[in-house]
């Protein structure tokens, strides 16, 4: 029986593991199949405090991991497949195996949203959700990025290092990215062409991506394409919680006492879910801010809630 199990290893999971480890709760972290979370797929992170020169996403997460293990956190590279909440413990299922703990923190984050126009069959064959990972494979190719937020601009700038022209497809007539990211793309319009009021209606190609059917300002047209990069948001990684009793909102994010209005900062356990002993933090809870620093902050809050809860239960 563990004191606490943390499910997920992004900023929220690692921050929670640092705090619970320092509290001598000896946390077990199930890192999932992508240790470090989404930040391992980014390049330079410029807005995380204490790094005025910026830091690479994978390096930031590696430092967090090292800090957690320094204080005694144990990590296993496994992915939770279910949760079984009982009166005196929580069982975390990994296939046929089960880990038990007095409390659990869910920090499984989110996953990329798909267009659902058949592009799934071409993932890895011209369709990608990670320009930072795959940009080098598209040197001097004709590439398109879908999205108008920070992630889309990040992808476009990463691709611009390998090809002469990146096509940024924006559904609206404005970008929703931060002002700093907008400046980056507007200052590089020799490398990035913005297609306003544009949607992808279909993908062309059998064994690999060969083209796209676009609707541009209401009119359809076909274009040749070697690469399509999706940056249209994320969905919370909560499918595995089916049947667990954990309450989700209408978008699939985990409800906590704080987000459901059942608690305030000074009372109870704000990051506890609808099930006692189960807490949640990071992008799996937060659909509004979705920043590395806010995820880390929520991870710390969940860890402090768990520490207080276990101490109260003991007394």
| Spatial separation of the C-alpha atoms in residues 312 and 292, rounded to whole Å | 30
250 labelled catalytic = no
Nearest residue to 144 (alpha-carbon basis) of 38, 42, 224: 224
Tokens of 227: 């690469």
Q: Are strands 127-128 and 90-94 parallel, antiparallel or unpaired?
A: unpaired
CB 17, CB 73: distance < 8 Å: yes
Q: Are strands 97-106 and 90-94 parallel, antiparallel or unpaired?
A: antiparallel
134 labelled catalytic = yes
**Catalytic pick among 134, 150, 155, 283:** 134
Give 215's contacts (C-beta < 8 A, 6+ positions apart): 198, 199, 201
| Spatial separation of the C-alpha atoms in residues 272 and 118, rounded to whole Å | 38
Give 204's contacts (C-beta < 8 A, 6+ positions apart): 210, 211, 212, 213, 222, 225
**Catalytic pick among 88, 133, 190, 286:** 133
How far, in whole angstroms, is CA 305 from its chain's centroid?
A: 23
**Catalytic pick among 88, 130, 173, 286:** 130
Q: Are strands 28-30 and 74-76 parallel, antiparallel or unpaired?
A: parallel
Q: Ramachandran region of residue 133, left (φ > 0), alpha (ψ -120 to 50) or beta?
A: alpha
| Spatial separation of the C-alpha atoms in residues 283 and 15, rounded to whole Å | 13
What residue ranges in 68-152 does DSSP mark as E strands? 74-76, 82-85, 90-94, 97-106, 110-112, 127-128, 143-146
| Spatial separation of the C-alpha atoms in residues 85 and 41, rounded to whole Å | 33
Give the residue numbers marked as catalytic: 130, 133-134
């Amino acid at each position: 029986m563990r004191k606490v199990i943390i499910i997920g290893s992004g900023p929220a999971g690692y921050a929670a593991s640092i705090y619970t480890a320092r509290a001598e709760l000896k946390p077990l972290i199930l890192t999932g199949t992508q240790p470090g979370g989404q930040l391992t797929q980014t390049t330079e992170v410029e807005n995380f405090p204490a790094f005025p020169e910026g830091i690479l996403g994978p390096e930031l997460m590696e430092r967090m991991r090292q800090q957690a293990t320094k204080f005694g956190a144990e990590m296993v590279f496994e992915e939770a497949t279910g949760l079984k909440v009982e009166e005196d413990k929580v069982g975390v299922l990994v296939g046929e195996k089960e880990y038990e703990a007095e409390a659990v923190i869910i920090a499984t984050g989110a996953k990329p949203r798909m267009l659902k126009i058949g592009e799934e069959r071409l993932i890895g064959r011209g369709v990608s959700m990670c320009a930072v990972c795959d940009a080098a494979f598209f040197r001097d190719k004709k590439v398109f990025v879908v999205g108008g937020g920070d992630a889309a601009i990040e992808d476009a700038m990463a691709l611009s290092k390998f090809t002469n022209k990146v096509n940024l497809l924006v559904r609206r007539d404005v970008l929703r990215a931060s002002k700093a990211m907008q400046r980056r793309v507007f200052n590089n319009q020799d490398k990035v062409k913005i297609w306003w009021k544009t949607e992808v209606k279909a993908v062309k190609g059998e064994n690999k991506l060969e083209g796209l059917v676009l609707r541009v300002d209401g009119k359809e047209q076909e274009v040749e394409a070697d690469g399509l990069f999706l940056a249209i948001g994320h969905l919370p990684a909560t499918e595995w919680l089916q049947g667990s009793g954990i309450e989700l909102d209408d978008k699939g994010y985990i409800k906590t006492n704080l987000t459901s209005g059942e608690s305030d900062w000074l009372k109870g356990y704000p990051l506890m879910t609808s099930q006692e002993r189960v807490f949640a933090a990071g992008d799996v809870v937060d659909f509004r801010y979705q920043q590395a620093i806010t995820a880390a902050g929520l991870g710390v809050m969940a860890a402090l809630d768990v520490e207080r809860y276990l101490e109260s239960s003991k007394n």
